[in-house]
Structure 1
Amino acid sequence: MILRKRKMWSAIITAGFVVITIIALFPIVSLLVASFQPASVLMRDGLTFLINPAELNLDSYVAIFSEEASQYWSWYGNSLAISAILIVLSLFFSSMVGYALSMYNFKGGKLIFVLVLFTLMIPFEILMLPLYQLMNDLNLMNTYMAVILPMIVAPIAVFFFRQYALGLPKDLMESARMDGCSEFGIFFRIMAPLMVPSFAAMAILQGLMSWNNFLWPLVVLRSSDMFTLPVGLATLLTPYGNNYELLFAGSLLTVVPIVILFLFFQRFFISGLTVGGVKG
């Protein structure tokens, strides 16, 4: 009887996850279908799964690899560069801050952590105006540094690394100190290798955040050749004309880097999130 109930609940849970997966994949599938349809069909029918095979073509992908779409690949390169730099800097600084808050007892440490938690509760739209003024005062407007700098130390990353580091054995620190290892040496040589799952998990989350970031680059960037991919794709929809061929095919190709990033770090992702979520 108990075994039958377990099988029944297992089937229900599995069916629930299948439904959730279908719902999650629905936008991607509809985007894939739209990328093979002419703009005239999309204007007439919108996004639909009622496909006429005779109307399907590769014109969108031919257009995106043509010389006319060179600006699209410039936006693509901008997003790749910004995301890569942001991931590296965010992991470096956020891990050090989170590690320090968990491993060292210093005056004001708890207050700093409370401020980090408080910052998590503030919507970015509220912080955007002072950040804009700061970037303007530093003469960083219309530069990639203006996009990257405010995002380097993310509160969610600091919180995550602190929670993960709480589960690290402090005895290793004492042993390393007795051997004459410096505090930076302890972190980089001993503790950081133990935090690899947390680095992988945050690399995916921070990469996804940076890759999809639309509002802040829209505010600080002015030149079209410096736009990131989300901002650049948004400019394809104007009151004077809509380049649907480039928009749908280009939007579908934006998924590729995130999929590659997840596949590269997937074996660490679940363990990193699980351990980081329960320690402390």
Structure 2
Amino acid sequence: MALSMKHSQKLQKTGLFLFFLVIAGLAIFPFYCLMLASFKPTTELLRAGLNVKYQSELMTIINYKFLFSADGHRYLLWYRNSLVVTLLQTVGALFFASFVGYGLAIYKFRGRDLLFGLVLFTMMVPIEILLLPLYKLMILFKLINTYWGVLLPFIVPPFAIFFFRQYALGMPKDLLDAARIDGCTELGSYFRVMLPLMMPAFGAMAILQALFSWNNLLWPLIVLRTPEMFTLPMGMASLLTPYGNNYMILMSGAVLAVLPLLIIFLLFQKTFIAGLTIGAVKG
């Protein structure tokens, strides 16, 4: 009987492994096609299109050389703009959202539940409904065609506030009380005691916020005007025209666009998993 149960469990694990292997293969397959296309000349793409056949005689790095040439200088400019915007928005979102979420979880004050309810309500409102009011607000503040206009409306994301609050609710309050008894200020207690305990939440939010900011197209498309200030999604989208598409930049540029997110995930994957499996279910 015991051997039968062990055999059944082994079959279940094998079946799950094969299932997730197939899912992973389906997820990787489009990127594999994109990788092959990025090493092919533009004329070959127009003639045969995307295909999974590896043809060594057609493989070339001319597309990647074009990105770093004088003709492809705007791609590097867009890449730099996206890196700056993503870095500032991610750091700002982590800083402010962690403060707000921590405050809503730890401190008791009048109107706390109402504020948290407003945060939840904001999460339910589609971003498309907020575009016109936000646009008028940016015009009023004279932030059109500036990076501040891109950053400020989303510098305190409601989902990040909710996530940090839920994580902070599960942290031991005795450590905070001990820090106060030792004469630590409220800011000192946060930075010295609570912040190290919240690192899994920071790791998870760093990946999610970086992913949102790096791929964000709609709002920068509304705020930014000059091509020199375009972010990478805007720049790549501007190459798609009715009069022809620059596949040399589109294919190889799309491959290189994945690298920052891949690096961020590799750096924070352990804290990302810990944050999602621990912090998200507390409270």
TM-score range normalised by the length of the shorter chain: over 0.9
What's the CA shift string for 1:213-265, capped at 9, x where partnerless? 11111110000000000000111111222110111101100011111111111
Indicate which of 151, 155, 158 corresponds to 2:154. 151
**1: CA distance between counterparts of 2:12 and 2:266?**
30
Aligned counterpart for 2:40 among listed residues 23, 30, 37:
37
Which residue number corresponds to residue 258 of structure 1? 261
Q: Quote how far apart the aligned CAs of 1:55 are.
A: 2.4
- The aligned counterpart of 1:125 is 128
**Aligned: 1:188 with 2:191:** yes
Q: 1:45 deviation in Å?
A: 2.4
Q: Distance in 1 between matches of 2:241 and 2:35?
A: 22
Question: AA paired with 1:70?
Answer: H
User: What residue number does 1:64 align with?
Assistant: 67
The answer for the alignment partner of 2:115 in structure 1 is 112
Q: Which residue of 2 aligns with 1:26?
A: 29
Which consecutive segments of 4 or more residues in structure 1 shift more than 4 A? none
Offset of residue 87 of structure 1: 1.1
Q: What residue in structure 1 maps to residue 236 of structure 2?
A: 233
Alpha-carbon distance, 1:150 to partner = 0.9
TM-score under structure 2 length normalisation: 0.96
2:146 aligned partner, one-letter code: T
* Match in the other structure for 1:170: 173
Distance (Å, rounded) in 1 between the aligned partners of 2:180 and 2:83: 40
Where does 1:28-107 land on structure 2 (aligned, <5 Å)?
28-107=31-110
Aligned residue pair count:
280
Report how far residue 203 of structure 1 moved: 0.6
State the percentage of identical aligned residues: 52
1:95-150 Cα deviation digits (max 9, x unpaired): 00000111111111111111111211111111111111111110000000011111
Distance in 2 separating the partners of 1:114 and 1:47: 48
2:199 aligned with 1:199, yes or no?
Answer: no
For the residue of structure 2 that corresponds to 1:26, the secondary structure is: helix
**Aligned with 1:139: secondary structure?**
coil
Which one-letter code corresponds to 2:130 in the other structure? L
Match of 1:267 in 2: 270
CA distance in 1: counterparts of 2:141 and 2:194, whole angstroms: 36
5+ residue gaps, structure 2: none
Within 2, Cα distance between the matches of 1:64 and 1:145?
28
In 2: Cα distance, 1:61 partner to 1:187 partner:
46
Gaps of 5+ in 1: none
User: Which TM-score applies when normalising by structure 1?
Assistant: 0.97
The amino acid of 1:238's aligned partner reads T
SS of equivalent residue, structure 1 residue 129 = helix
Q: Secondary structure at the match of 2:233?
A: helix
Larger deviation: 227-236 or 43-52? 43-52
What CA distance in whole angstroms lies between the structure 1 residues aligned with 2:269 and 2:56? Answer: 36
Distance 1:46 1:128 in 2: 37
